[in-house]
Structure 1
């Protein structure tokens, strides 16, 4: 009976520390902006816009694209003293394992930028007509 209590206690403690480590890994990502564009109603006049606060520092984009994502994803970030514009091109890579083939997708383009002073910025994401394709866009601080 005591062995069961000890084993259950150990499992609970391991589970607790696993949950804590998952939470801390998300904090390490330093996500300052996130959107999943998977619904045409998120766009107004073919563009998605949102404002957010950003602090001085170095940032980079992280995308989660798939085969239906927009082929060209145009992103502009505009602030009082800052501007960024890039047309990201969707690229696929074929993987062959001997028993199967599959593709992975990624966006090519300048994916990092610097902010020299804190600012409120507006991000404009234009899928260039493909409002049906889904993609997640994150901005993370280095």
Structure 2
């Protein structure tokens, strides 16, 4: 009888710990919704040295995210224009040496969060300042 009670207690504690772990992991992750994405790796995507597109956006807080490499443009100017919104930022590529002498990680530094007050159509203009061969992906996520 004692063995069944101990075994039952162990099973119950294991279940509680497992469920708690799953709940904690799921609340730590924030869902992101991709609003805009472009992978600029082809000179044909640029017109007169800049990339331009239009998309619809709702009110809320958004964040830019980039996937870059050492060949990406050193400065990437991102401009957003809408009926009631205007934003422009010169994102600068920053390399951080990891495991001394082994490899770099690359990140664009700049104001990466924006607040949209009214839903509207937005024009995005991305200027790589002449580096139309350096690959970079640009995301805007909510």
Per the TM alignment, residue 96 of structure 1 is displaced from its structure 2 partner at its CA by: 1.3
Per the TM alignment, residue 118 of structure 1 is displaced from its structure 2 partner at its CA by: 0.1
Structure 2 residue aligned with 1:31: 34
Separation in structure 2 between the aligned mates of residue 96 and residue 123 of structure 1, nearest angstrom: 37
Structure 2 residue aligned with 1:93: 96
Is the aligned partner of 1:78 residue 2:81? yes
| Residue of 46, 53, 71 corresponding to 2:49 | 46
- CA offsets per residue over residues 28-67 of structure 1, 9 Å max, x none? 3200000000000000000000000000000000000001
Separation in structure 1 between the aligned mates of residue 102 and residue 66 of structure 2, nearest angstrom: 22
Query: How much is the aligned-residue C-alpha RMSD, in angstroms?
Result: 1.5
Structure 2 residue aligned with 1:118: 119
SS of the aligned residue for 2:133 comes to coil
Which runs of 5 or more residues in structure 2 are unaligned?
1-28
Stretches of 4+ aligned residues off by more than 4 angstroms: none
Q: Which has the larger radius of gyration?
A: 2
- CA offsets per residue over residues 118-142 of structure 1, 9 Å max, x none? 000000000000000000000001x
SS of the aligned residue for 1:85 comes to strand
Is the aligned partner of 1:61 residue 2:37? no
Separation in structure 1 between the aligned mates of residue 89 and residue 32 of structure 2, nearest angstrom: 22
Structure 1 residue aligned with 2:131: 130
SS of the aligned residue for 2:44 comes to helix
Separation in structure 2 between the aligned mates of residue 55 and residue 91 of structure 1, nearest angstrom: 31
Aligned length: 114
TM-score of the two chains, using structure 1 as the length reference: 0.77
Structure 1 residue aligned with 2:26: none
- CA offsets per residue over residues 64-113 of structure 1, 9 Å max, x none? 0001000000000000000000000000000116xx61000000000000
